């Protein structure tokens, strides 16, 4: 059972996922740095790999619709092993929150707040997230539908505006690189951002739905998100060409070179606003997952009292993650995808396997008990007839 008793609608849940994915559309430098102009293709391949996780998550949710990920671990693996596995997830949630906070700070520092100290940017942003968090999950996700739709509308609008600078030749010829390039880039996309959807196992008990078709909800949300990602990727590649590999935030540069008049000469400002809103929607979900998981791990009655402490921990963690943007980029391409694969794919698949094995043994045990009971009844009914 969720530690937050408030409920959210299916629409809120779906658009929270949409915002979660859309926020990563503008931070595609990890995969773009490897696959370049073929990034749109690796996004599709990464999404197809991610469908495996959607199936696994939906099966787990179907069997434990009213339990969070931490409770599922205890139920499936027992108190000792379950708590050990939960530690991995808690570390994952906290690290993911810190990484996305770092991305937000870097973006703000290179776009609009170039002279503001990083600690001030991060502290201000996290205070807003904590405020939303302490008002409950329903308040936290209330405006996700508006943010998601607005972000998609701006993406389409920016695509149209950028069309004058768009060169189809920048996307041609497709798929001329070594196969290992596509494998590596697809692996990155399948873990960052798609695999991160595992955090929504902390929110599913709060979804007010009689059907509980979580797999369908996740599929719809991620599909809408990946459409936005593809539009952004194709636009950026068409405008920037091979130089896309050299920008930390390619989408921001695309906006800067896509001006067609004085009216639209500062598109990056609009882009910055919607990006900040999207990053809020992602970080607040991650912070909730981390805080709620820690509260349940230590059997606390509420997560709200520790939310500010966890936010402060994430800020300190963020300040000590990487010593430069280069190390951050290399880690995102070469290290993080493999660590995330264990958390996002291997552990959930292992969880489902244990669930199925335990279910099979339980079913066989029930059938054997039924056979023994029927056998005893047969002997009892046969006894009097033999006596006669």
Pick from 87-91, 190-194, 359-363: least confident: 359-363
Instruction: DSSP for 277-317, please give it.
Output: HHHHHHHHHHHHHHHHHHHHHTT-S-SGGGHHHHHHHHHHH
Residue 263 pLDDT: 53
Residue 28 burial class via C-beta count within 10 angstroms: exposed 0-12, middle 13-18, buried 19 and up: buried
Distance CA 47, CA 51 (A): 6
Reduced to 3 states (helix: H, G, I; strand: E, B; else coil), residue 207 is strand
Mean pLDDT of 106-132: 91
pLDDT for 113-124, tens place per residue? 888 999 999 999
Mean pLDDT of 317-340: 89
Q: Quote the Cα angle for 361-367-368, to 5°.
A: 90
pLDDT for 241-268, tens place per residue? 888 888 878 888 887 777 655 555 566 7
Distance CA 347, CA 157 (A): 40
pLDDT for 8-38, tens place per residue? 999 999 999 999 999 987 666 667 878 889 9
CB 122 within 8 A of CB 318: yes
Mean pLDDT of 323-328: 82
Residue 296 pLDDT: 96
Residue 113 pLDDT: 85
Instruction: DSSP for 323-365, please give it.
Output: SSHHHHHHHHHHTHHHHHHIIIIIHHHHHHHHHHHHHHHHHHH
Judged against a pLDDT cut of 90, whether residue 372 lies above it is answered with no
- Hey, CA dihedral for 271, 241, 221, 71, is it positive or negative? negative
Judged against a pLDDT cut of 90, whether residue 315 lies above it is answered with yes
Judged against a pLDDT cut of 70, whether residue 374 lies above it is answered with no
Residue 32 pLDDT: 83
Judged against a pLDDT cut of 50, whether residue 387 lies above it is answered with no
Q: What is the mean pLDDT of the chain?
A: 88
Q: Is the pTM of this model over 0.85?
A: yes
pLDDT band (50, 70, 90) for residue 373: low
Query: How much of the chain exceeds pLDDT 90, in percent?
Result: 62
Query: How much of the chain exceeds pLDDT 70, in percent?
Result: 89
Q: Which domains does the chain have, with CATH numbers?
A: 10-387 (1.20.1740.10)
């Amino acid at each position: 059972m969720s530690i937050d008793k408030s409920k959210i609608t299916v629409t809120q849940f779906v658009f929270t996922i949409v915002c979660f994915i859309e926020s990563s559309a503008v931070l595609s430098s990890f995969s773009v740095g490897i696959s370049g102009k073929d990034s749109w293709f690796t996004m599709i391949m990464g999404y197809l790999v991610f469908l495996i996780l959607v199936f696994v998550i939906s099966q787990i949710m179907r069997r434990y619709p009213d339990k969070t990920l931490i409770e599922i671990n205890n139920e499936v693996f027992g108190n000792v092993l379950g708590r050990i596995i939960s530690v991995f997830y808690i570390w994952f949630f906290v690290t993911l929150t810190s990484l996305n906070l770092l991305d937000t700070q870097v973006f703000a520092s290179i776009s609009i707040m170039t002279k503001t100290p990083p600690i001030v940017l991060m502290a201000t942003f996290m205070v807003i997230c904590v405020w939303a968090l302490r008002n409950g999950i329903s308040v936290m996700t209330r405006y996700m539908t508006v943010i998601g739709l607005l972000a998609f509308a701006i993406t389409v609008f920016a695509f149209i505006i950028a069309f004058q600078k768009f060169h189809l030749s920048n996307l041609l010829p497709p798929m001329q690189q070594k196969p290992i390039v596509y494998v590596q880039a697809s692996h990155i996309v399948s873990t960052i951002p798609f695999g991160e959807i595992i955090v929504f196992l902390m929110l599913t008990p709060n979804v007010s739905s009689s059907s509980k078709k979580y797999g369908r909800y996740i599929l719809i949300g991620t599909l809408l998100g990946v459409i936005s990602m593809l539009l952004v990727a194709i636009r950026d590649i068409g405008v920037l060409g091979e130089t896309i590999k050299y920008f930390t935030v390619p989408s921001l540069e695309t906006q800067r070179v896509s001006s067609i008049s004085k009216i639209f000469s500062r598109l990056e400002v609009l882009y910055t606003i919607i990006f900040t809103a999207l990053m809020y929607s992602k970080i607040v979900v991650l912070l909730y997952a981390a805080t709620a998981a820690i509260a349940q791990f230590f059997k606390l009655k509420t997560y709200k009292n520790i939310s500010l402490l966890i936010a402060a921990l994430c800020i300190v963690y963020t300040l000590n993650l990487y010593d430069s943007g280069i190390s951050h980029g290399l880690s995102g391409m070469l290290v993080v995808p493999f660590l995330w694969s264990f958390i996002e794919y291997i552990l959930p698949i292992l969880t489902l396997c244990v669930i199925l094995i335990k279910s099979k043994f339980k079913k066989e045990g029930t059938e054997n008990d039924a056979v023994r009971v029927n056998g005893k009844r047969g002997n009892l009914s046969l006894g009097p007839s033999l006596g006669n």
